[in-house]
Amino acid sequence: MSKCFCIFLLVLILSGIRSSAQYHLVWQDEFDYNGHLDSTKWNYETGGDGWGNEELQYYTGKRLKNARVENGRLIIEAHKENYGGKQYTSARVTTTEKGDWTYGRIEVKAKLPSGRGTWPAIWMLPTEWIYGDGSWPDNGEIDIMEHVGYNEGVIHGTVHTDDYNHMEGTQKGDQIYISDATSAFHVYSIEWTKDKIRWFVDDEQYFRFIKQGDWSKWPFDHPFHLILNVAVGGSWGGVEGVDNSIFPTKMEIDYVRVYQKEAETGIDDQQSSDEVKIYPIPVEEFVHFSSYRAIKKIEIFSLTGKAVYKNIFEKAKKQCRINLSHLPSGLYLAKFRFSDNRDYTAKIIKN
């Protein structure tokens, strides 16, 4: 390999990557425990007043029948039963004041409930109600995923603001059809920046909302928290009634992950990249890779261009650990290929 090419690699590693905006994993729940939800991360919202949408269920608190962690997944399960003056029960959990973010990538891997009358949602509300009259919709709502059982497979992503909301039929959103949404897991996500929000299913973008005007059109500049729930019936979910034969029915969550960029977190870590988080820094023995995109191949090269590691995964993965204890100290270049066949490079410092 020529000396010029080695210099080019070094410049790429030390300066090119450094200049990119960098994502960091800042909050997650992998549900690697059993029983009740982790109380340091989640709250239960309870009640049966219809929740502003004429919903039919009573949301219970810390009741394993309706919300539990088992086999590495969060289960939110709706039942047909008399409880609290309602004929159905379910759960609604939030990260309020335990996970609140302004901007970032919010990612939830989920399998949705099926059946007419179900209305699962993965969405966000403001933690601080600072605009207008201090209520909804002035301060905004971000619906990462909504699905109504009578229209199975149609996934909706939406924003609500003072000027754009469903009460006036002016909400902004779009939809995508996922044929196996109720039988397979999919990753529902948004990427939210200071000037736009983008919606994805399995990294396929299907909607984008661009910042415009003042707070009445764009109140998305202050902390929001995450909400997961399964409603029954309601002004949208119950348009075609409720099929009582479907109960119990459940939404399963494999994980929740939140990423933010350096400017949003104040973290100064030049080992992380837009696409891949690398830690620890520097590497002693094992190096960990974490990405919001599925990685199918990793190659690591020395500065002379010699390949020192290569792995093609049978099944693309978002997290992995590699033993680099055999490598001498120095700088290395890691090349990642994602499941969509895009490539990305990052530097590794080995002690």
Q: Which residues are catalytic?
A: 141, 146
User: For residue 263, what pLDDT is reported?
Assistant: 64
pLDDT confidence bin for 268, thresholds 50/70/90: very low
* pTM (two decimals): 0.73
Q: Which percentage of the chain shows pLDDT scores above 70?
A: 90
pLDDT at 137 over 70: yes
Q: Where are the beta strands (DSSP E) in 91-237?
A: 92-94, 100-101, 104-111, 118-126, 141-146, 154-160, 172-177, 186-192, 196-201, 204-210, 224-232
In this structure, what token pair is assigned to residue 172?
């902004």
pLDDT at position 37: 98
Instruction: Answer yes or no: do 255 and 332 share one domain.
Output: no
Q: Do residues 113 and 186 both lie within one domain? A: yes
Note the pLDDT tens digit of each residue in 78-101.
999 999 999 999 999 999 999 999
Q: Based on the fold, state whether residues 301 and 175 are members of the same structural domain.
A: no
State yes or no: pLDDT of 76 exceeds 60. yes
Q: Do residue 258 and residue 297 come from a single domain?
A: no
The answer to whether residues 144 and 160 touch, using CB atoms and an 8 Å cutoff, is: no
| 122-146 mean pLDDT | 95
Q: What percent of the chain has pLDDT over 90?
A: 70
* Same domain for 13 and 59: no
Co-location of 333 and 228 in the same domain: no
Nearest Cα residue to 23 out of 190, 194, 261: 261
Which of 230, 262, 294 marks a domain boundary?
Answer: 262
Average pLDDT over residues 210-221: 95
Same domain, 42 and 55: yes
**CATH number of the domain where residue 45 is located:** 2.60.120.200
Specify whether 240 is located in the same domain as 296.
Answer: no
pLDDT grade for 274, boundaries at 50, 70 and 90: low
Domain boundary among the residues 235, 262, 289 is at 262
pLDDT at 345 over 80: yes
pLDDT digits (tens, 9 = 90+) for 279-316: 787 888 888 888 878 899 999 998 777 889 999 998 88
d(CA 173, CA 170): 9
Is the same domain home to 106 and 213?
yes
**Total tally of structural domains belonging to the chain:** 2
In tens, the pLDDT along 225-247 reads 999 999 999 999 999 999 999 99
- What three-state secondary structure class fits 12? helix
Are both 36 and 46 inside the same structural domain?
yes
Pair (8, 120) in one structural domain: no
Q: What is residue 276's predicted lDDT score, i.e. its pLDDT?
A: 84
- Domain of 277 in residue numbering reads as 3-21+269-350
Q: What is the pLDDT of residues 3-53, one digit of tens each?
A: 444 444 544 444 444 334 567 888 999 999 999 999 999 999 999 999 999
CATH number of the domain encompassing residue 308: 2.60.40.3080
Query: 67: part of which helix (H) or strand (E)?
Result: strand 67-70
Domain end marker among 262, 296, 314: 262
Asked if the model's pLDDT at residue 269 lies above 70, the reply is no
Whether 235 and 92 share a structural domain = yes
